[in-house]
């Protein structure tokens, strides 16, 4: 979030002028909380205080997402909610890798910055010689973080609350979950106590914002001004204090710069794909090291694959990664966080192996190998690679050690 403007002076001007789009001042603004969010209590409290500070009449409720399900909320559903029952959505998650910037939504400044954490109990222990069972919420950054870790069995749960509960009940040795889910669980179960450690991953850091649709875009500067005033006088810190990561939650693991997609051939055992992320195949769960100075040719693909891959992406991937690959509640698959102009940390084969083993998040590894190859062709094309006459296959995609640097289309 860029803050080059003098937020305190800007806030004072807006709050003093009291300007607001016609209609809102009398009818009130319809604010909705984000469905399934563990931070709903915080979202509601911040919404009430921000709108009170801005002097805007407010109607707050959970409605507007009739089409939502456990697989996330699509951009279409967000737009429908914002065009129908809501003018603004509180608790919208954003990060550097999935910020929704390619959508037509307008966003406020963040009011809570938190992260995905590794959680254990006092009783947690992994039996010697056995893989550690790690609970994570499917179709979420928690799953993407968990599958990068060696020697684990993945316990996928439908919600963040169930993920924490799997740990509390002893079903899992550890859980990876967004920290506010731990807070919400301990509020509901005050007898429970957890040890919390930060995770180190590009997918770990997120913030909560207000999202505005077409009907509410004029509210954005007014709400930003209110949040700036609340931050300046300590009210925002007071509201969010219990939801922020504690200072004692030190980071563990490798530096973020060493992160890479895990390579390795997929197994045909569907049950293994659902419960294990250790990739103990011929690559033994190793990470690819990229030498960006070494030239390597990208595997070829043709235009028919790009067209078919785009269709498959729209039906199986867009709900989480965005219709334009911009990222929604999963990482962007286009741009510098995915394919930088230089010095890539990922390889084409690494990304492909991860995708073929773990995606779609609700049906990992269930697509045909050639379908995965066609989706990879679409991703390459969308990041500047040119289509040719040769066909990208499952084998050629797996074998590629080419750094995933964006290219300028020819």
β-partners of residue 29 are 58
Beta strand residue intervals within 300-380, DSSP E: none
| Other beta carbons within 10 Å of 407 | 14
322: left (phi over 0), alpha (psi -120 to 50) or beta: left
Inter-residue contact 199 to 176 (CB < 8 Å):
yes
Task: Please give the Cα distance from 109 to 92 (Å, whole number).
Answer: 11
**Straight-line distance from the first to the last Cα atom of the chain, in angstroms, rounded to the nearest whole number:** 34
Q: Give the per-residue pLDDT at 3.
A: 29
Q: Give the per-residue pLDDT at 166.
A: 94
Task: Please give the Cα distance from 181 to 159 (Å, whole number).
Answer: 9
Q: Give the per-residue pLDDT at 296.
A: 59
Q: Give the per-residue pLDDT at 310.
A: 95
Which phi and psi angles does 262 have, rounded to 5°? -80, 135
Strands 152-157 and 29-33: unpaired
- Interacting residues of 175 by C-beta distance below 8 A, sequence separation 6+: 118, 119, 120, 134, 135, 136, 163, 164, 166, 167
Q: Give the per-residue pLDDT at 209.
A: 94
Inter-residue contact 282 to 350 (CB < 8 Å):
no
Q: Give the per-residue pLDDT at 77.
A: 74
pTM of the model: 0.64
pLDDT by 10-residue block (mean), the chain, 410 residues: 30 35 58 87 96 94 58 67 85 78 80 93 80 85 78 85 94 94 95 91 87 85 97 97 82 43 32 27 30 62 96 89 79 82 82 84 82 95 93 93 80
Domains of the chain with CATH codes: 7-112+206-243 (3.40.190.10), 114-198 (3.40.190.10), 260-399 (1.10.760.10)
Q: Give the per-residue pLDDT at 100.
A: 63
Half-sphere exposure of 297 (CA within 13 A, CB side): 5
Q: Give the per-residue pLDDT at 176.
A: 95
Helix (H, G, I), strand (E, B) or coil at 277: coil
């Amino acid at each position: 979030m860029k803050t080059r403007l003098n937020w305190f002076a800007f806030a004072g001007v807006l709050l003093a002028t009291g300007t607001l789009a016609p209609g809102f001042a009398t009818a009130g603004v319809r604010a909705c909380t984000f469905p399934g969010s563990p931070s709903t209590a915080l979202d509601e409290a911040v919404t009430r205080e921000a709108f009170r500070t801005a002097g805007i009449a407010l109607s707050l409720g959970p409605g507007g997402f009739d089409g939502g399900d456990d697989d996330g909320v699509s951009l279409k559903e967000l737009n429908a909610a914002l065009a129908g029952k809501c003018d603004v959505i509180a608790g919208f998650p954003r990060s550097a890798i999935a910020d929704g910037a390619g959508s037509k939504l307008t966003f406020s400044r963040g009011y809570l910055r938190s992260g995905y954490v590794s959680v254990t109990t006092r009783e947690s222990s992994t039996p010697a010689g056995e893989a550690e069972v790690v609970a994570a919420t499917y179709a979420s950054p928690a799953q993407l973080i968990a599958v990068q870790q060696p020697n684990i069995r993945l316990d996928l749960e439908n919600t963040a609350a169930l993920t924490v509960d799997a740990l509390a009940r002893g079903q899992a040795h550890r859980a990876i979950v967004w920290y506010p889910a731990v807070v919400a669980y301990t509020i509901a179960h005050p007898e429970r106590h957890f040890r919390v450690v930060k995770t180190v991953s590009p997918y770990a850091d997120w913030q909560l914002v207000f999202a505005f649709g077409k009907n509410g875009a004029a509210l954005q500067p007014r709400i930003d001004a209110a949040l700036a005033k609340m931050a300046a006088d300590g009210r925002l810190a007071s509201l969010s204090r219990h939801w922020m990561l504690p200072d004692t939650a030190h980071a563990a693991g490798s530096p973020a710069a060493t992160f890479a997609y895990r390579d390795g051939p997929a197994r045909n055992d569907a049950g293994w794909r659902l419960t294990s992320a250790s990739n103990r195949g011929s690559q033994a769960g190793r990470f690819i090291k990229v030498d960006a100075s070494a030239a390597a040719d990208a595997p070829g693909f043709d235009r028919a694959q790009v067209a078919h891959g785009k269709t498959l992406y729209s039906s199986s991937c867009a709900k989480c990664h965005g219709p334009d690959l911009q990222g929604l509640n999963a990482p962007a698959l286009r741009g510098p966080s995915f394919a930088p102009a230089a010095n890539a940390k990922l390889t084409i084969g690494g990304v492909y192996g991860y995708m073929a083993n773990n995606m779609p998040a609700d049906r990992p590894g269930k697509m045909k190998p050639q379908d995965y190859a066609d989706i990879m062709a679409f991703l390459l094309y969308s990041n500047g690679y040119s289509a040719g006459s040769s066909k990208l296959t499952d084998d050629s995609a797996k074998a590629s050690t080419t750094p995933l640097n964006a290219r300028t289309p020819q």
